[in-house]
Amino acid sequence: MTALIITESYFGNTAAIADAIAQALGGPGAMAVESLPVADAPVLVPPGTDLLILAAPTHDYSLPRPATRARARQRGARHGGQEGDGPGLRDWIATAEPVPGVKVVTVDTAVKTGFMLSSAAKTAARLMGAAGFENVRRGATFFVSDLSGPLEPEELLRARAWATTLAAGLKSLTKVRAA
């Protein structure tokens, strides 16, 4: 199995979660994993990709937009580790072409509050479904202590555990289909 992780990150927290997920998915005897910032992501999902994971920070209860990116930059953010503003995950999804059979899972980072109306992962899942992807699932939210971070304690461990569980589920689905 092969996985592609596409990440939008401003303060490095979402990128750290994506890296932890990639490490867990690509462990010994596991799948081949490529993890890219959204600015470097291919326009088309590469052939042979079984799993596509989209990771983004939650901005105003949704995927980042130009205005929320500007506010993040005012707080010292660097889009994709670089200054300036490039494409975001919302932009990538708008041009994505559905790929039959690819499983899509969305994850996000967010400030932990008592109540969340929505999240980047929820918005990304909805947009991917609207773009014609058939097997889309909202994944986990990983928490930061403030808009710029850092990640809450144990979130990297939780991301690795989540990815390990995801990989085990994918392998069992593959085995059942092959039988």
pLDDT for position 83: 47
pLDDT value of position 177: 37
pLDDT in tens, 6-23: 999 999 999 999 999 999
* Model pLDDT, residue 172: 60
Contacts of residue 156, Cβ cutoff 8 Å, sequence gap at least 6: 16, 17, 20
Model pLDDT, residue 80:
56
Q: What number is the average pLDDT over the span 108-121?
A: 86
Q: Which residues contact 58 (CB under 8 A, 6 or more apart)?
A: 108, 109, 110, 111, 116, 119, 120, 121, 141
CA dist 60 and 148 (Å) reads 14
pLDDT digits (tens, 9 = 90+) for 14-69: 999 999 999 999 977 779 999 999 999 998 999 999 999 999 999 999 999 998 88
Q: What is the pLDDT of residues 64-111, one digit of tens each?
A: 999 888 888 888 887 554 445 678 999 999 999 999 999 999 999 999
Residue whose C-alpha is closest to residue 158's, from 138, 143, 179 = 143
Threshold 0.85, pTM exceeds: yes
Taken as a whole, the chain contains a residue count of 179
What pLDDT is stored for residue 23 in this prediction? 96
Number of separate domains in the chain: 1
CATH number at residue 56: 3.40.50.360
The torsion angles phi and psi of 72, rounded to 5 degrees, stand at: -65, -40
Give the residue numbers spanning the domain of 170: 2-178
